[in-house]
Amino acid sequence: MADRYQRFASTGPGRLLVRRLGLPNPVPLRRHRPGDPLVAAPVLVGGDGRAVDAVRAVLKAAQVDTRSTAEADARYGALVFDATSIVDSGGLRALYEFFHPVVRALVGCGRLVVLTTPPEECADPREATAQRAVEGFVRSMGKELRRGSTAQLVAVSAGAEAGVESTLRFLLSGRSAYVSGQVVRVGPVDTVPTVDWERPLAGRTALVTGASRGIGAAIAEALGRDGAHVVCLDVPAQGQDLSAVANRIGGSALQLDITSGHAPGRLAEHLRERHGGVDVVVHNAGITRDRTLAKMTAQQWDSVLAVNLTAQERVNDVLLGADVLREGGRIVGVSSIAGIAGNVGQANYATSKAGVIGMVRSLAPVLAARGGTVNAVAPGFIETRMTAAIPLLVREAGRRMNSMSQGGLPVDVAETVAWFANPASAGVNGNVVRVCGQSLLGA
Protein backbone atom coordinates (compact mmCIF):
# COMPACT_ATOMS: atom_id res chain seq x y z
CA MET A 1 0.00 0.00 0.00
CA ALA A 2 2.89 2.38 -0.79
CA ASP A 3 1.96 6.03 -1.22
CA ARG A 4 4.38 6.86 -4.02
CA TYR A 5 3.26 10.48 -4.22
CA GLN A 6 4.03 11.04 -0.53
CA ARG A 7 7.42 9.40 -1.00
CA PHE A 8 8.17 11.69 -3.97
CA ALA A 9 6.95 14.81 -2.13
CA SER A 10 9.48 14.14 0.63
CA THR A 11 12.44 14.28 -1.78
CA GLY A 12 14.30 17.49 -2.66
CA PRO A 13 12.86 17.81 -6.18
CA GLY A 14 9.45 16.76 -4.88
CA ARG A 15 9.38 19.41 -2.18
CA LEU A 16 10.32 22.06 -4.72
CA LEU A 17 7.61 20.98 -7.16
CA VAL A 18 4.95 20.73 -4.44
CA ARG A 19 5.77 24.22 -3.19
CA ARG A 20 5.85 25.84 -6.65
CA LEU A 21 2.64 24.24 -7.92
CA GLY A 22 0.74 24.36 -4.64
CA LEU A 23 0.20 20.60 -4.63
CA PRO A 24 -0.88 18.58 -1.56
CA ASN A 25 2.02 18.14 0.85
CA PRO A 26 1.56 14.94 2.89
CA VAL A 27 4.20 15.14 5.63
CA PRO A 28 5.06 12.11 7.78
CA LEU A 29 2.78 12.09 10.83
CA ARG A 30 3.93 11.81 14.44
CA ARG A 31 2.59 8.48 15.65
CA HIS A 32 2.94 6.98 19.11
CA ARG A 33 6.02 4.98 19.99
CA PRO A 34 6.68 3.51 23.45
CA GLY A 35 8.65 5.93 25.57
CA ASP A 36 7.69 9.01 23.55
CA PRO A 37 6.78 12.16 25.53
CA LEU A 38 3.15 13.23 25.32
CA VAL A 39 4.08 16.26 23.22
CA ALA A 40 7.34 17.26 21.54
CA ALA A 41 7.56 20.85 22.83
CA PRO A 42 6.04 23.07 25.57
CA VAL A 43 2.27 23.50 25.74
CA LEU A 44 0.73 26.96 25.92
CA VAL A 45 -2.49 27.00 27.96
CA GLY A 46 -4.98 29.87 27.90
CA GLY A 47 -8.50 30.75 28.96
CA ASP A 48 -10.02 31.21 32.39
CA GLY A 49 -12.92 28.76 32.34
CA ARG A 50 -13.87 26.03 34.76
CA ALA A 51 -11.74 23.36 33.01
CA VAL A 52 -8.38 25.11 32.93
CA ASP A 53 -7.23 23.81 36.32
CA ALA A 54 -8.01 20.24 35.24
CA VAL A 55 -6.02 20.79 32.04
CA ARG A 56 -3.01 22.00 33.97
CA ALA A 57 -3.27 19.05 36.36
CA VAL A 58 -3.27 16.60 33.44
CA LEU A 59 -0.22 18.22 31.87
CA LYS A 60 1.61 18.25 35.20
CA ALA A 61 0.87 14.56 35.78
CA ALA A 62 2.19 13.82 32.27
CA GLN A 63 5.36 15.83 33.04
CA VAL A 64 4.68 18.30 30.23
CA ASP A 65 6.38 21.69 30.17
CA THR A 66 3.38 24.04 30.45
CA ARG A 67 3.37 27.79 29.79
CA SER A 68 0.73 30.40 30.62
CA THR A 69 2.17 33.35 28.68
CA ALA A 70 3.36 33.45 25.10
CA GLU A 71 7.06 34.16 24.72
CA ALA A 72 8.89 35.71 21.77
CA ASP A 73 10.44 33.17 19.41
CA ALA A 74 9.03 30.25 21.45
CA ARG A 75 7.80 27.09 19.72
CA TYR A 76 4.89 25.07 21.06
CA GLY A 77 3.91 21.43 20.80
CA ALA A 78 0.28 22.26 21.57
CA LEU A 79 -2.02 25.21 22.10
CA VAL A 80 -4.85 24.53 24.56
CA PHE A 81 -7.60 27.05 25.28
CA ASP A 82 -10.43 26.78 27.80
CA ALA A 83 -13.41 28.54 26.22
CA THR A 84 -16.01 27.45 28.80
CA SER A 85 -16.15 30.99 30.24
CA ILE A 86 -17.38 32.52 26.95
CA VAL A 87 -21.02 33.54 27.50
CA ASP A 88 -21.89 35.53 24.37
CA SER A 89 -20.73 36.18 20.82
CA GLY A 90 -18.62 39.13 21.90
CA GLY A 91 -16.56 36.79 24.02
CA LEU A 92 -15.52 34.81 20.94
CA ARG A 93 -12.88 37.50 20.37
CA ALA A 94 -10.86 35.65 23.03
CA LEU A 95 -10.21 32.87 20.50
CA TYR A 96 -8.61 35.33 18.09
CA GLU A 97 -6.60 37.04 20.80
CA PHE A 98 -5.13 33.79 22.12
CA PHE A 99 -4.43 31.92 18.90
CA HIS A 100 -3.59 34.72 16.43
CA PRO A 101 -0.15 35.59 17.86
CA VAL A 102 0.98 31.99 18.38
CA VAL A 103 -0.61 29.73 15.78
CA ARG A 104 2.46 30.00 13.55
CA ALA A 105 4.63 28.96 16.50
CA LEU A 106 3.08 25.49 16.51
CA VAL A 107 5.66 22.82 15.68
CA GLY A 108 5.09 20.23 12.97
CA CYS A 109 2.48 17.63 13.99
CA GLY A 110 1.40 20.02 16.73
CA ARG A 111 -1.95 20.02 18.49
CA LEU A 112 -4.68 22.64 18.93
CA VAL A 113 -7.36 21.82 21.50
CA VAL A 114 -10.28 23.96 22.63
CA LEU A 115 -12.53 23.04 25.56
CA THR A 116 -16.16 24.18 25.62
CA THR A 117 -19.47 23.55 27.33
CA PRO A 118 -21.93 21.36 25.37
CA PRO A 119 -24.32 23.96 23.89
CA GLU A 120 -27.41 21.98 24.85
CA GLU A 121 -26.35 22.21 28.50
CA CYS A 122 -26.16 26.02 28.51
CA ALA A 123 -29.08 27.67 30.30
CA ASP A 124 -28.74 30.98 28.43
CA PRO A 125 -29.41 31.09 24.65
CA ARG A 126 -26.58 33.53 24.02
CA GLU A 127 -24.11 31.32 25.83
CA ALA A 128 -25.33 28.26 23.88
CA THR A 129 -24.92 30.22 20.65
CA ALA A 130 -21.36 31.23 21.48
CA GLN A 131 -20.35 27.76 22.62
CA ARG A 132 -21.67 26.25 19.38
CA ALA A 133 -19.82 28.89 17.39
CA VAL A 134 -16.51 27.58 18.74
CA GLU A 135 -17.01 24.38 16.75
CA GLY A 136 -16.80 26.30 13.50
CA PHE A 137 -13.55 27.89 14.64
CA VAL A 138 -11.98 24.53 15.51
CA ARG A 139 -13.02 22.80 12.30
CA SER A 140 -11.62 25.72 10.28
CA MET A 141 -8.35 25.63 12.18
CA GLY A 142 -8.02 21.95 11.36
CA LYS A 143 -8.08 22.90 7.69
CA GLU A 144 -5.69 25.85 8.11
CA LEU A 145 -3.00 24.06 10.10
CA ARG A 146 -0.19 22.48 8.12
CA ARG A 147 2.66 20.00 8.57
CA GLY A 148 0.55 17.27 10.17
CA SER A 149 -0.98 19.39 12.94
CA THR A 150 -4.51 18.76 14.19
CA ALA A 151 -7.36 20.69 15.83
CA GLN A 152 -9.96 19.24 18.20
CA LEU A 153 -12.86 20.41 20.34
CA VAL A 154 -13.63 18.81 23.72
CA ALA A 155 -17.12 19.59 25.02
CA VAL A 156 -16.94 19.07 28.79
CA SER A 157 -20.11 18.89 30.85
CA ALA A 158 -20.19 20.86 34.09
CA GLY A 159 -18.88 18.54 36.78
CA ALA A 160 -16.97 16.37 34.29
CA GLU A 161 -13.69 18.29 34.43
CA ALA A 162 -11.93 15.53 36.36
CA GLY A 163 -12.70 13.10 33.55
CA VAL A 164 -10.80 14.85 30.76
CA GLU A 165 -7.39 13.24 31.33
CA SER A 166 -7.78 10.23 29.07
CA THR A 167 -9.16 12.37 26.25
CA LEU A 168 -6.48 15.06 26.55
CA ARG A 169 -3.71 12.47 26.63
CA PHE A 170 -5.10 10.89 23.46
CA LEU A 171 -5.62 14.12 21.55
CA LEU A 172 -2.26 15.64 22.48
CA SER A 173 -0.25 12.50 21.74
CA GLY A 174 0.83 10.77 18.55
CA ARG A 175 -1.99 8.26 19.07
CA SER A 176 -4.40 10.76 17.43
CA ALA A 177 -2.17 11.36 14.39
CA TYR A 178 -4.97 10.93 11.83
CA VAL A 179 -7.81 12.41 13.92
CA SER A 180 -8.59 16.08 13.30
CA GLY A 181 -11.54 18.46 13.28
CA GLN A 182 -13.46 16.29 15.73
CA VAL A 183 -15.82 17.06 18.60
CA VAL A 184 -15.47 14.82 21.67
CA ARG A 185 -18.03 15.01 24.44
CA VAL A 186 -17.01 14.20 28.02
CA GLY A 187 -19.84 13.72 30.48
CA PRO A 188 -19.88 13.41 34.28
CA VAL A 189 -19.41 10.02 35.95
CA ASP A 190 -19.39 8.95 39.58
CA THR A 191 -15.74 7.91 39.57
CA VAL A 192 -12.88 7.98 37.10
CA PRO A 193 -10.63 4.94 37.61
CA THR A 194 -6.93 5.44 38.17
CA VAL A 195 -4.96 3.58 35.52
CA ASP A 196 -1.43 2.69 34.55
CA TRP A 197 -1.14 4.78 31.39
CA GLU A 198 1.23 2.28 29.80
CA ARG A 199 -1.03 -0.75 30.42
CA PRO A 200 -4.51 0.59 31.23
CA LEU A 201 -6.25 -2.68 30.24
CA ALA A 202 -4.14 -5.00 32.40
CA GLY A 203 -6.28 -7.81 33.82
CA ARG A 204 -9.13 -7.20 31.38
CA THR A 205 -10.55 -9.26 28.53
CA ALA A 206 -11.34 -7.80 25.13
CA LEU A 207 -13.16 -9.26 22.12
CA VAL A 208 -12.33 -8.06 18.60
CA THR A 209 -14.37 -9.37 15.67
CA GLY A 210 -12.86 -9.50 12.19
CA ALA A 211 -9.44 -9.68 13.84
CA SER A 212 -7.50 -11.74 11.29
CA ARG A 213 -6.09 -8.84 9.28
CA GLY A 214 -6.13 -5.13 8.50
CA ILE A 215 -7.84 -2.83 10.95
CA GLY A 216 -9.08 -5.71 13.11
CA ALA A 217 -5.56 -7.10 13.58
CA ALA A 218 -4.26 -3.62 14.44
CA ILE A 219 -7.02 -3.17 17.04
CA ALA A 220 -6.18 -6.53 18.62
CA GLU A 221 -2.51 -5.57 18.77
CA ALA A 222 -3.23 -2.19 20.38
CA LEU A 223 -5.50 -3.68 23.05
CA GLY A 224 -2.98 -6.44 23.73
CA ARG A 225 -0.20 -3.85 24.04
CA ASP A 226 -2.36 -2.04 26.60
CA GLY A 227 -2.54 -5.18 28.73
CA ALA A 228 -5.78 -6.91 27.70
CA HIS A 229 -6.17 -10.59 26.91
CA VAL A 230 -7.69 -10.33 23.45
CA VAL A 231 -10.13 -12.89 22.08
CA CYS A 232 -9.61 -12.63 18.33
CA LEU A 233 -12.70 -13.69 16.35
CA ASP A 234 -13.15 -14.28 12.65
CA VAL A 235 -14.75 -16.72 10.24
CA PRO A 236 -13.22 -20.22 9.91
CA ALA A 237 -11.91 -19.43 6.42
CA GLN A 238 -9.54 -16.91 8.05
CA GLY A 239 -8.42 -19.38 10.72
CA GLN A 240 -4.72 -19.43 9.85
CA ASP A 241 -4.34 -15.66 9.78
CA LEU A 242 -6.49 -15.38 12.90
CA SER A 243 -4.26 -17.76 14.86
CA ALA A 244 -1.17 -15.86 13.74
CA VAL A 245 -2.58 -12.60 15.13
CA ALA A 246 -3.66 -14.22 18.40
CA ASN A 247 -0.30 -15.89 18.89
CA ARG A 248 1.58 -12.70 18.13
CA ILE A 249 -0.18 -10.75 20.89
CA GLY A 250 -0.58 -13.56 23.42
CA GLY A 251 -4.34 -13.71 22.95
CA SER A 252 -6.69 -16.48 21.90
CA ALA A 253 -8.50 -17.27 18.65
CA LEU A 254 -12.17 -18.08 18.16
CA GLN A 255 -13.39 -19.18 14.74
CA LEU A 256 -17.04 -18.24 14.38
CA ASP A 257 -19.40 -16.86 11.75
CA ILE A 258 -21.15 -14.10 13.70
CA THR A 259 -24.10 -14.08 11.29
CA SER A 260 -25.10 -17.66 12.12
CA GLY A 261 -28.14 -18.18 14.30
CA HIS A 262 -26.24 -19.81 17.16
CA ALA A 263 -23.28 -17.39 17.11
CA PRO A 264 -24.34 -14.92 19.87
CA GLY A 265 -25.16 -17.72 22.30
CA ARG A 266 -21.98 -19.63 21.56
CA LEU A 267 -19.93 -16.47 21.89
CA ALA A 268 -21.51 -15.61 25.24
CA GLU A 269 -20.89 -19.14 26.51
CA HIS A 270 -17.25 -19.02 25.38
CA LEU A 271 -16.60 -15.67 27.06
CA ARG A 272 -18.34 -16.70 30.28
CA GLU A 273 -16.70 -20.12 30.62
CA ARG A 274 -13.18 -19.25 29.43
CA HIS A 275 -12.83 -15.71 30.75
CA GLY A 276 -15.60 -15.11 33.28
CA GLY A 277 -17.06 -12.43 31.02
CA VAL A 278 -15.67 -9.65 28.86
CA ASP A 279 -14.72 -6.02 29.48
CA VAL A 280 -14.29 -4.62 25.96
CA VAL A 281 -16.22 -5.60 22.82
CA VAL A 282 -15.06 -4.21 19.48
CA HIS A 283 -17.43 -4.82 16.56
CA ASN A 284 -14.98 -4.58 13.69
CA ALA A 285 -16.14 -7.36 11.35
CA GLY A 286 -17.45 -5.92 8.11
CA ILE A 287 -17.78 -6.61 4.40
CA THR A 288 -18.52 -4.67 1.22
CA ARG A 289 -20.58 -5.75 -1.78
CA ASP A 290 -20.46 -2.61 -3.88
CA ARG A 291 -22.96 -1.98 -6.65
CA THR A 292 -25.27 0.89 -7.54
CA LEU A 293 -28.71 0.13 -6.16
CA ALA A 294 -30.20 -0.59 -9.58
CA LYS A 295 -27.62 -3.35 -10.12
CA MET A 296 -27.47 -4.64 -6.55
CA THR A 297 -28.88 -8.09 -5.81
CA ALA A 298 -30.96 -8.82 -2.73
CA GLN A 299 -28.18 -11.13 -1.52
CA GLN A 300 -25.64 -8.32 -1.74
CA TRP A 301 -27.90 -6.06 0.29
CA ASP A 302 -28.73 -8.71 2.89
CA SER A 303 -25.19 -9.97 3.43
CA VAL A 304 -23.75 -6.52 4.12
CA LEU A 305 -26.51 -5.58 6.56
CA ALA A 306 -26.24 -8.97 8.27
CA VAL A 307 -22.49 -8.74 8.94
CA ASN A 308 -22.07 -5.01 9.47
CA LEU A 309 -25.09 -4.22 11.61
CA THR A 310 -27.55 -6.98 12.53
CA ALA A 311 -24.84 -9.27 13.93
CA GLN A 312 -23.65 -6.46 16.21
CA GLU A 313 -27.16 -5.93 17.55
CA ARG A 314 -27.68 -9.64 18.17
CA VAL A 315 -24.36 -9.99 19.97
CA ASN A 316 -25.03 -6.91 22.11
CA ASP A 317 -28.47 -8.24 23.09
CA VAL A 318 -26.97 -11.48 24.38
CA LEU A 319 -23.92 -9.98 26.09
CA LEU A 320 -25.98 -7.33 27.85
CA GLY A 321 -28.97 -9.54 28.59
CA ALA A 322 -26.87 -12.32 30.13
CA ASP A 323 -24.55 -9.88 31.93
CA VAL A 324 -21.54 -11.26 30.06
CA LEU A 325 -20.31 -7.71 29.53
CA ARG A 326 -18.98 -6.78 32.94
CA GLU A 327 -19.92 -3.67 34.92
CA GLY A 328 -18.11 -0.70 33.42
CA GLY A 329 -17.72 -2.52 30.11
CA ARG A 330 -16.93 -0.90 26.79
CA ILE A 331 -18.59 -1.46 23.41
CA VAL A 332 -16.95 0.05 20.34
CA GLY A 333 -18.49 -0.08 16.88
CA VAL A 334 -16.58 0.48 13.67
CA SER A 335 -18.63 2.76 11.42
CA SER A 336 -17.32 4.69 8.38
CA ILE A 337 -17.48 8.15 6.87
CA ALA A 338 -19.68 6.43 4.28
CA GLY A 339 -22.25 6.15 7.07
CA ILE A 340 -22.07 9.92 7.51
CA ALA A 341 -21.72 11.22 3.95
CA GLY A 342 -22.90 8.27 1.83
CA ASN A 343 -21.03 6.96 -1.19
CA VAL A 344 -21.87 6.03 -4.78
CA GLY A 345 -22.29 2.28 -5.15
CA GLN A 346 -22.39 1.71 -1.40
CA ALA A 347 -26.02 2.18 -0.42
CA ASN A 348 -25.94 -1.12 1.48
CA TYR A 349 -22.62 -0.37 3.19
CA ALA A 350 -23.53 3.23 4.07
CA THR A 351 -26.87 2.07 5.46
CA SER A 352 -25.15 -0.46 7.71
CA LYS A 353 -22.52 2.01 8.90
CA ALA A 354 -25.09 4.73 9.60
CA GLY A 355 -26.92 2.07 11.58
CA VAL A 356 -23.82 1.58 13.73
CA ILE A 357 -23.98 5.28 14.60
CA GLY A 358 -27.65 4.89 15.48
CA MET A 359 -26.80 1.89 17.66
CA VAL A 360 -24.21 3.92 19.56
CA ARG A 361 -26.57 6.80 20.18
CA SER A 362 -29.46 4.58 21.28
CA LEU A 363 -27.37 2.32 23.53
CA ALA A 364 -25.43 5.12 25.24
CA PRO A 365 -27.92 5.60 28.10
CA VAL A 366 -28.23 1.82 28.50
CA LEU A 367 -24.48 1.45 28.94
CA ALA A 368 -24.27 4.52 31.17
CA ALA A 369 -26.75 2.91 33.57
CA ARG A 370 -24.31 -0.01 33.88
CA GLY A 371 -21.30 2.24 34.37
CA GLY A 372 -20.14 1.48 30.83
CA THR A 373 -19.80 3.26 27.51
CA VAL A 374 -20.52 2.70 23.83
CA ASN A 375 -18.79 4.69 21.10
CA ALA A 376 -17.83 4.33 17.45
CA VAL A 377 -14.93 5.11 15.17
CA ALA A 378 -15.68 6.20 11.62
CA PRO A 379 -12.59 5.57 9.46
CA GLY A 380 -11.98 7.45 6.24
CA PHE A 381 -9.38 6.35 3.71
CA ILE A 382 -7.20 3.81 5.53
CA GLU A 383 -4.31 2.06 3.79
CA THR A 384 -5.38 -1.61 3.72
CA ARG A 385 -5.50 -4.40 1.18
CA MET A 386 -9.09 -3.38 0.43
CA THR A 387 -8.20 0.22 -0.45
CA ALA A 388 -5.13 -0.96 -2.36
CA ALA A 389 -7.52 -2.65 -4.80
CA ILE A 390 -9.38 0.59 -5.56
CA PRO A 391 -8.71 2.08 -9.03
CA LEU A 392 -5.74 4.46 -9.03
CA LEU A 393 -7.55 7.76 -9.57
CA VAL A 394 -10.20 7.00 -6.96
CA ARG A 395 -7.50 5.85 -4.54
CA GLU A 396 -5.51 9.04 -5.02
CA ALA A 397 -8.62 11.18 -4.48
CA GLY A 398 -9.32 9.30 -1.23
CA ARG A 399 -5.79 9.91 -0.04
CA ARG A 400 -5.61 13.62 -0.84
CA MET A 401 -9.12 14.86 -0.01
CA ASN A 402 -8.41 15.51 3.64
CA SER A 403 -6.48 18.00 5.74
CA MET A 404 -3.51 15.61 6.00
CA SER A 405 -3.36 14.98 2.22
CA GLN A 406 -2.71 11.29 2.85
CA GLY A 407 -4.36 8.04 3.84
CA GLY A 408 -4.41 6.82 7.40
CA LEU A 409 -3.02 3.55 8.75
CA PRO A 410 -4.86 0.74 10.56
CA VAL A 411 -3.01 1.72 13.74
CA ASP A 412 -4.75 5.11 13.65
CA VAL A 413 -8.13 3.42 14.01
CA ALA A 414 -6.71 1.04 16.60
CA GLU A 415 -5.39 3.84 18.80
CA THR A 416 -8.80 5.52 18.79
CA VAL A 417 -10.46 2.27 19.82
CA ALA A 418 -7.88 1.83 22.60
CA TRP A 419 -8.73 5.30 23.91
CA PHE A 420 -12.43 4.42 24.00
CA ALA A 421 -11.57 1.14 25.76
CA ASN A 422 -9.43 2.80 28.44
CA PRO A 423 -11.15 2.61 31.86
CA ALA A 424 -10.25 6.28 32.39
CA SER A 425 -12.47 7.19 29.40
CA ALA A 426 -15.52 6.61 31.60
CA GLY A 427 -17.08 9.96 30.64
CA VAL A 428 -16.67 9.40 26.88
CA ASN A 429 -20.01 7.87 25.92
CA GLY A 430 -22.16 8.08 22.79
CA ASN A 431 -19.38 9.59 20.67
CA VAL A 432 -18.67 8.97 16.99
CA VAL A 433 -15.13 10.03 16.14
CA ARG A 434 -13.93 10.12 12.53
CA VAL A 435 -10.44 8.79 11.87
CA CYS A 436 -10.10 10.40 8.48
CA GLY A 437 -7.52 13.18 8.61
CA GLN A 438 -10.47 15.61 8.59
CA SER A 439 -11.88 14.37 5.31
CA LEU A 440 -13.52 16.93 3.06
CA LEU A 441 -16.46 14.53 2.80
CA GLY A 442 -19.13 14.39 5.47
CA ALA A 443 -19.66 16.55 8.54
Which residues are known to be catalytic?
Answer: 349
Selection from 108, 112, 168 nearest residue 138 by Cα? 112
* DSSP designation for 262: T
Burial tier of 343 (Cβ tally within 10 Å: 0-12, 13-18, 19+): middle
Q: How far is CA 21 from the centre of its chain?
A: 33
Provide the 3-class DSSP secondary structure of residue 278: strand
Query: In angstroms, rounded to a whole number, what is the distance separating the alpha carbons of residues 75 and 44?
Result: 9
Element (H, E) at 351: helix 347-369
> Over the Cα atoms of the chain, what is R_g?
22
Selection from 194, 183, 104, 171 nearest residue 137 by Cα? 183
List the 205-209 sheet strands across, edge first: 252-255, 229-234, 205-209, 278-283, 325-334, 373-379, 432-435
List Cα–Cα distances, 343 to 59, 339, 353, 389, 439, in angstroms. Answer: 41, 8, 11, 17, 13
Query: In angstroms, rounded to a whole number, what is the distance separating the alpha carbons of residues 363 and 398?
Result: 31
Query: In angstroms, rounded to a whole number, what is the distance separating the alpha carbons of residues 405 and 403?
Result: 6
CA torsion through residues 348, 350, 352, 354, sign: negative
Query: In angstroms, rounded to a whole number, what is the distance separating the alpha carbons of residues 210 and 346?
Result: 20
Contact 285, 210 (CB under 8 A): yes
Query: Residues in the chain, how many?
Result: 443
Q: How far is CA 419 from the centre of its chain?
A: 8
Query: In angstroms, rounded to a whole number, what is the distance separating the alpha carbons of residues 317 and 104?
Result: 50
